[in-house]
Structure 1
Amino acid sequence: MNTVRYKIVEFLIIFILLPVSFVIDYSIKLKMGIGGIGFLYIIYVLLKVEKRKIKIGPNLKWRIFWRQTFFKLVVIAIITTLFVWLTDSKSLFSVLLEKPKLWVFILFIYSFFSVYPQEIIYRTFYFQRYKGLFKSELLFIFVNAIIFSLGHIFFKNSLVLVLTFFGGLLFALTYKKTESTLLVSIEHTIYGCWLFTVGMGSMLGFPA
């Protein structure tokens, strides 16, 4: 399971074939089953093959993390607020103001049942498993952003693909610096929750 050939085939199946297959119209139960099996396989490889413990991380620098995350959030907030205001002003903070209970519920579900599994797959597993296959660190980061975007192709939404590509770059760089699934999950949660809060939920597949 640790040969280069095996890892390449594994990479293509998990990060290319499976996401693309979810675009095809077939049973949602079957898709969920395939996704569940894939996730269990990833956990197995991490724990049993790579001997990797999913831990908080060895390079925690909370002050630096919060300062950098806050700065990036301010930039994201300004850009996205202007975007929603110019393209769909009625949606600006609409869920927060009109459906606060739904807002809280969605943020909870998204944070714990979407973000954390994504970061295990796209950062913890990817960095642990495939770093040795790339000679260029920049290419390694770029490919991570590409496959993270591709993982959202089932939304069939170009805006989602663009946002997840840039999000993938940010999260990959954070994980590279911290090696922490926890910190990158917190960052992912903050930005994702903001996008839903500002009014981009319907654009990005959140129930509204």
Structure 2
Amino acid sequence: MQSVTYKLTEFFLIFIILPVSFILNYPFLVKALLAVSGFVYVVYILVKVEGNEFKVAPNLRWKSFCTGVFVKFIIIAVLTIAYMLLTAKSDLFHVLYQKPKLWVIILFAYAMFSVYPQELIYRTLYFQRYASFFKSKSLFVFINASVFSMAHLFYRNPLVLLMTFLGGILFAMTYDRTKSTLLVSIEHAIYGFWLFTVGMGHMLGFPD
């Protein structure tokens, strides 16, 4: 499981074949089974092969992390509010105002069942298994953002692909700097929460 051939095959199946297959027309239950099976495999690799213990590191740099996320969040908030005002003013913050209970439920479910699994796959697994294949850190981050964007192909929305590509760059840079699945998951969740709150959640599959 540590050979170059095995890892390349693994990469191709997890990050290329599986996401692309989800845009094809076959039963949802089959897609769900493939997704769950793939995630179980990832957890197995991380625990049994890579030796992860999923403990919170005691030396996390919370101050610098929070400062960086705050600055990026302000920029994202300004851009997304402007986008909503220009394209769908009536939807701005509509879920928060009209369905606050749904808003709370979705935020919790999103963090637990979407964000953390994605970060285990696209940051933790990716960085631990495939870093040795790249001499260029910039290329390594670019490929990470690209495959993260590909994971959202089934939305069939160019704006979603662009946003997830840019998000992938931010998350890859955070993980590369902190080596923390927890911190990058928090950052991912904050931006996702905001998109749902500001009124762009329908593009990312949030019920509204």
**What is the TM-score normalised by the length of structure 2?**
0.97
Q: Which residue is 2:26 aligned to?
A: 26
Q: What are the equivalent positions in structure 2 for 1:42-191 lying under 5 Å apart? A: 42-57=42-57, 60-191=60-191
Matched residue of 2:135: which SS? coil
The CA deviation at 1:56 is: 2.5
Amino acid at match of 1:7: K
Letter in 1 for 2:206: F
**Deviation of 1:58 (Å):** 6.2
| SS at structure 2 position matched to 1:56 | coil
C-alpha RMSD of matched pairs (Å): 1.0
Q: Deviation of residue 5 (structure 1)?
A: 1.2
In structure 2, distance between residues paired with 1:8 and 1:36: 21
Q: Counterpart of 1:203?
A: 203
Counterpart residue type for residue 109 of structure 1: A
The Cα of 1:174 is off from its aligned counterpart by: 0.3
SS of corresponding position for 1:23: coil
Q: Distance in 2 between matches of 1:55 and 1:173?
A: 21
Gap change, CA 1:59 and 1:23, over 3 Å in 2 = farther
Q: Which amino acid letter does the alignment assign opposite residue 8 of structure 2?
A: I
Residue type matched to 1:200 in 2? M
Shift of 1:49: 1.2
Question: Are 1:41 and 2:44 matched, yes or no?
Answer: no
Distance 1:164 1:57 in 2: 27
Supply the distance in 1 between the matched residues of 2:52 and 2:130 (Cα, whole angstroms).
13
Aligned counterparts of 1:27 and 1:204: Cα–Cα separation in 2: 20
In the alignment, structure 2 segments of 5+ residues that lack a partner are: none
8 Å CA contact 1:57–1:178 kept in 2: the answer is no
Does the CA-based 8 Å contact 1:57-1:182 persist in structure 2? no
Distance 1:117 1:57 in 2: 19
Mean Cα deviation higher: 6-15 or 197-206: 197-206
Between the aligned residues of both structures, percent identity stands at 57
Contact in 1 for aligned 2:131/2:140 (Cα 8 Å): yes
Q: Distance in 2 between matches of 1:57 and 1:128?
A: 16
**Residue 21 (structure 1) shift:** 0.3
Alignment length (residue pairs): 208
Q: Is the contact between residue 155 and residue 203 of structure 2 (CA under 8 Å) also seen in structure 1? A: no
Amino acid at match of 1:67: T
- In 2, Cα distance between equivalents of 1:7 and 1:186: 28
Give the drift of 1:135.
1.1
Q: Is residue 149–residue 164 contact of structure 1 (8 Å, CA) maintained in 2? A: yes
Output the CA distance in 2 between the equivalents of 1:69 and 1:81: 18
Q: Is the 8 A contact 1:55 1:180 kept in 2?
A: no
User: CA offsets, 1:139-160, max 9 Å, x none?
Assistant: 1111000000001111111111
Residue 59 of structure 1: how far off its partner (Å): 5.0
Indicate conservation of the 8 Å contact 2:23/2:154, yes or no: yes
